[in-house]
């Protein structure tokens, strides 16, 4: 039971991080008021990659 709970907890945490990061990206794009769609896409992809790197750094080490 312990191992499955750890995996479930990790998946829930990752889902919240990704959902929260995506919401923040949308808010940032709206605040910057970018007119060009390619600029929006580049910004979203950059922030998504940065969020994934931060999530990887904060992830607890697996044993």
* Tens digits of residue pLDDT in 40-53: 777 777 877 877 77
**Six token digits for residue 16:** 């919240």
Is a pLDDT exceeding 60 seen at residue 62?
Answer: no
Eight-state DSSP code of residue 62: P
Render pLDDT for 12-41 as a digit per residue (tens, 0 to 9).
777 777 777 677 777 777 777 766 777 777
| 29 contact partners, CB below 8 Å, separation of at least 6 | 40, 43, 44
Structure tokens at 9: 């907890």
Would you put residue 34 in left (φ > 0), alpha (ψ -120 to 50) or beta? beta
Q: Enter the pTM of the model.
A: 0.43
């Amino acid at each position: 039971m312990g191992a499955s709970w750890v995996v479930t907890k990790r998946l829930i945490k990752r889902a919240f991080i990704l959902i929260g990061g995506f919401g923040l990206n949308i808010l940032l794009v709206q605040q910057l008021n970018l007119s060009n769609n390619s600029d929006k896409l580049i910004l979203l992809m950059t922030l998504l990659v940065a969020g994934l790197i931060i999530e990887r750094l904060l992830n607890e080490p697996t044993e």
